[in-house]
Amino acid sequence: MGMNIAQKIIWTHLVEGKMVPGTQIGLRIDQTLTQDSTGTMAYLQFEAMGVDQVKTKRSVAYIDHNMLQQGFENADDHKYIQTVAGKHGIYFSRPGNGICHQVHLERFGIPGQTLLGSDSHTPTGGGIGMLAIGAGGLDVAVAMGGGTYYITMPKVLKVNLTGKLSPFVTAKDVILEILRRLSVKGGVGRILEYAGEGVATLSVPERATITNMGTELGCTTSVFPSDATTRAFLAMQDRVSDYTELLADPDAEYDEEITVDLSSLVPMVALPHSPDNVRTVEEAAGIRVDQVAIGSCTNSSYLDMMRVAKILKGRRIPENVSLVIAPGSKQVLTMLAKNGALADMIDAGARILESGCGPCIGMGQAPATNAVSLRTINRNFKGRCGTTSAGVYIVSPETAAVSALKGVLTDPRVMADEADMTVEMPEKFIINDNMVAAPAKNPDEVEVVKGPNIKSFPLNTELGDMVTGKALIKVGDNITTDHIMPSNAKLLPFRSNIPYLADFCLTPCDPDFPARAKENGGGFIVGGENYGQGSSREHAALAPLQLNIRGVIAKSFARIHKANLINSGILPLTFVNPADFDAVSEMDEIVIENAVDQVKSGKVTALIGSREVALDIELTEKELGVLLAGGKINFIKNAQ
């Protein structure tokens, strides 16, 4: 029996285990990436491991999130990351060089290699045939030190693409259609592998848009073949030597399969406040638009930007609409500036932002009260944009640009006769890596600089036989890491200061939660389905750890957040009977006796209030060892 693409990459990187879905496997990691909102903590953890130089083929530290330097905090973090990177063999992408996923695709990604990143949208790399996975910073730190990355072997879902996209219908509409079908939980425990005749009709930037937003499905990662299209893209980046053909075998088998007819798709929109709340643009058309933001790691490529420029050329944005555009990398921005497309955007009334994450993560450009904001981003969780009352709608760059001109949400096909959307790709992209600093040649001479805002991260203690505490908060389904650890422009500068951040933990759900946790000496969090979806930020586990949270009891967990809880030594427990969730009240006393033996068995009985409640704790052997040790740092130290 032949293998599919995911299996081929896993097989060549398999360190432990067998490729049986549902069992634990260990993978060798070729490349890592970090960004500055997760990177500071990841490098503090890397330093704590005592490794001199990274063991990967390539590790890159990007500055793309904390770009608003209103105080010293962000600049201090950047200086720390730059010096620690130089000392330990890590490439450093300076502020302004671009968004990590866009730049990595352009300059560093290699088909067939594994990439682990401390950002949930690391699967963008699947657009060029990488097995690219998002993880918590500690897992990335371990990989940089040469450690094995452990996951549960996913099922492989074949997405069979047929036909070809119609004009003004885009890759964004492909992934929105898949989200409409499968939901934000539909990819859990799966790798999405794209196949079929339609694959050849999609460029690498279009493929990367699809793999980027596959994260919103909850999947482990997404991957496209590495084919002639991939080779052409790498050749344009003067990296054809990095090309390797990677195709599924003709007799490859898959665990599941769906088919998407590209030719039948129409422009789509995700309504507030979830990426899977999808309708056709035609169904939702006419909604007044106050703000439009084009960019993010999902849709900021040269191809995206050129299509937007073609729509805007010679036209004018109405005075009641704010249009902001952020090209994804210095390379893209430079090319737009040289070919005149940037001038077309500016002439139309667009404001050009720095090449960074910006509006997507609420770092600037917060909408007005009750405003409608169309964005080409990947997430529209309530309040993530910086304005709780605003409604964020996820659309393609084409829909965003046309709607900005019309002042209302508009099906972009209305401009089919007015705008020529043909984009001729250059034979070579402009290549200038002068904003990427190579590791120091003499690392011993590099002094690692830590500013006063950089604090030590909390460490747990080994699991005891008696675990007790109150149910400090009870929340519903699809609680995101933005709820657990808000990441707005005011808080992002404090990503390296967990004691400060802990005072804002879960405050979008209950402003009194941090104080209540402190008053009661910690306790438990009770949640619904898909608890911890969204960003990979391990701060959503570290802040609860700082507040002495001993366990989270939920109906189900998002993959990365569950791993981060385990890495922090916090028990991730699930209700055997989901109906027991309804019976739990806030401030119920929770008691788990013989906790060590119960956790080892995978079955836990907890006394919650006056009722015995059956709980599951699904752990691999390695995860069990980490939890018993009180977290991954302790586990690593114990093994030394």
Condensed to tens digits (0 to 9), the pLDDT of residues 223-270 reads 999 999 999 999 999 999 999 999 999 999 999 999 999 999 999 999
* Residue 126, pLDDT score: 98
How many whole angstroms separate alpha carbon 306 and alpha carbon 338? 12
Residue closest to 436 by CA, chosen among 62, 37, 114: 62
Dump pLDDT digits (tens) for 44-54.
999 988 899 99
Dump pLDDT digits (tens) for 478-487.
999 999 999 8
Q: Which CATH class is domain 467-639?
A: alpha beta
How many whole angstroms separate alpha carbon 446 and alpha carbon 361? 32
User: How many helices (H) and strands (E) in the chain?
Assistant: 22, 27
Give the HSE-up count for residue 509: Cα atoms under 13 Å, Cβ half-sphere.
22
Q: Could you give the dihedral angle defined by the CA atoms of residues 13, 15, 17 and 22, in that order, rounded to the nearest 10 degrees?
A: -50
Tokens of residue 37, six digits: 């909102």
Q: Could you give the dihedral angle defined by the CA atoms of residues 195, 200, 206 and 207, in that order, rounded to the nearest 10 degrees?
A: 30
Phi-psi group of 297: left, alpha or beta (phi > 0 → left; psi -120 to 50 → alpha; rest → beta) = alpha
Domains 5-264 and 268-415 share a fold: yes
Q: Which residues are bridge partners to 225 per DSSP?
A: none
In terms of C-beta density within 10 A (0-12 exposed, 13-18 middle, 19 or more buried), how is residue 288 classed? exposed
The domain locations on the chain are 5-264, 268-415, 467-639
Tokens of residue 633, six digits: 């740092």
CATH H-level, domain 268-415: superfamily: Aconitase, domain 3 (3.30.499.10)
* Residue numbers in the chain where pLDDT is lower than 70: none
Residue closest to 175 by CA, chosen among 139, 144, 219, 136: 219
CATH H-level, domain 5-264: superfamily: Aconitase, domain 3 (3.30.499.10)
* Residue 597, pLDDT score: 97
Tokens of residue 204, six digits: 């690498």
Sheet holding 221-223, edge to edge: 221-223, 190-195, 155-162, 256-261
Q: At what angle do helices 302-312 and 330-339 cross, to 10 degrees?
A: 40
* Residue 439, pLDDT score: 97
Dump pLDDT digits (tens) for 68-107.
878 888 899 999 999 999 999 999 999 999 999 999 999 9
**Which uninterrupted H or E stretch holds 516?**
helix 513-519
Within 8 A by CB and 6+ apart from 619, the residues are: 566, 599, 602, 627
